[in-house]
């Protein structure tokens, strides 16, 4: 399907004027290609000064911290992240300009590919953690205590707004969002959310005992946001990133691996997922032995779906999908409950 420019959302001429200003080019040609055009933004290529650039325009307020995120990434001097040329908020929109990505090589979705992506992520996070330790970036920051507060407030909202929908509209949600019946039963159970509150507090108490470096949490890391180049794996779409425990980024990548590798029936890690986790933890700079690193990781993975859902709710509200939020949020909240059930024995650590 051909992607179209959304003139009603953003004037093409105004974008070209901006590109002229930030590149110093006398003229701008394009868009030469529109990669993505949807309710929350446009990504397109333009030609200026004998080279091509990638322009991303985000329509939602949730993207307004992205210039600061990409400036932080730019200080890493890494070939594994996009190179920002310019970025600013214009009105309610966020305009970003990148150097073109290197030519993509053929990339498969085998176990080794997921392991290499996990290692690339860890290398980026190691560098980012060192910068963040020196100076606080202008990016939303969630320490362990702030993760706890955010998750508890989110659980209160789930109980007040969305649990009634999970109870009353279960059949409709199962059909529309393909949510397993057992997950909706779990979410409708009056004991589930109070138990999650206790488990969140217990998990955060354990995590607070460890000196884990804060780094970037890529909210939507999957193979669709990774390109294999001659320099390695380039990870993009960092627009909604926040600074917190680094482990959370792996939650979506593991779910993507499970889909492509066709393994696993419940929240327990499969053998393939364990290999991805081991590759990631081996590459991540943590001052703890392997057993402790795995403990920290598993506890963080219980919290990850809740924090992701909480951040996703802002996106759903801003893009106009708030009426469908109960269906979008349910799988991740259920996943958090399932992971807590499996890994709760670690909390006596």
Domain spanning 12-98, CATH architecture? 2-Layer Sandwich (3.30)
- pLDDT single digits (tens) 165-177: 999 999 999 999 9
Beta bridge mates, 42: 37, 57
Instruction: With a cut of 70, say whether residue 250 has pLDDT above it.
Output: yes
Record the pTM: 0.94
Q: Taking residues 249-253, what's their average pLDDT?
A: 97
Domain 111-348, CATH among 2.30.29, 3.90.1200, 3.30.110, 3.30.1490 = 3.90.1200
- pLDDT single digits (tens) 126-147: 999 999 999 888 899 999 999 9
- pLDDT single digits (tens) 321-341: 999 999 999 999 999 999 999
At 348 the pLDDT is 58
Domain with CATH 3.30.200.20 in the chain: 12-98
Domain with CATH 3.90.1200 in the chain: 111-348
At 107 the pLDDT is 67
Instruction: For the sheet with 29-38, list strands across it.
Output: 29-38, 41-48, 51-58, 93-98, 84-90
- pLDDT single digits (tens) 265-320: 677 899 999 999 999 999 999 999 999 999 999 999 999 999 999 999 999 999 99
At 349 the pLDDT is 45
């Amino acid at each position: 399907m051909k992607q179209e420019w959304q003139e009603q959302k953003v004037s093409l001429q105004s974008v070209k004027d901006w590109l002229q200003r930030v590149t110093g080019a006398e003229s701008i040609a394009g868009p030469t290609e529109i990669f993505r055009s949807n309710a929350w933004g446009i990504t397109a290529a333009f030609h200026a000064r004998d080279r091509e650039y990638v322009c991303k325009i985000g329509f939602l307020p949730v993207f307004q911290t992205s210039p600061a995120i990409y400036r932080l990434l730019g200080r890493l001097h890494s070939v594994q992240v996009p190179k920002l040329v310019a970025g600013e908020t214009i009105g309610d929109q966020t305009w970003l300009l990148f150097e073109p990505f290197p030519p993509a090589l053929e990339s498969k979705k085998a176990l080794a590919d997921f392991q290499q992506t996990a290692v690339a992520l860890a290398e980026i996070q190691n560098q980012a953690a060192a910068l963040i330790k020196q100076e606080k970036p202008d990016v939303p920051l969630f320490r362990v205590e702030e993760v706890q507060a955010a998750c508890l407030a989110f659980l209160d909202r789930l109980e007040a707004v969305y649990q009634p929908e999970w109870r009353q509209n279960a059949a409709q949600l199962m059909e529309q969002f393909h949510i397993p019946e057992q997950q909706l039963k779990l979410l409708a159970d009056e004991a589930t959310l109070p138990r999650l509150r206790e488990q969140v507090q217990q998990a955060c108490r354990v995590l607070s005992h460890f000196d884990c470096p804060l780094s970037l949490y890529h909210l939507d890391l999957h193979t669709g946001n990774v390109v294999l180049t001659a320099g390695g794996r380039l990870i993009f779409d960092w627009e909604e990133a926040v600074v917190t425990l680094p482990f959370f980024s792996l939650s979506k990548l593991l779910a993507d691996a499970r889909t492509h590798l066709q393994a696993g029936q419940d929240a327990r890690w499969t053998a393939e997922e364990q290999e991805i986790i081991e590759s990631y933890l081996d590459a991540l700079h943590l001052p703890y032995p392997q057993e402790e690193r795995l403990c920290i990781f598993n506890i963080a993975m219980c919290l990850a779906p809740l924090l992701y859902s909480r951040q996703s709710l802002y996106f759903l509200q801003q893009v106009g999908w708030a009426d469908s939020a109960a269906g979008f949020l349910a799988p991740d909240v259920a996943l958090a409950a399932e992971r807590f059930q499996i890994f709760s024995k670690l909390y006596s650590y």
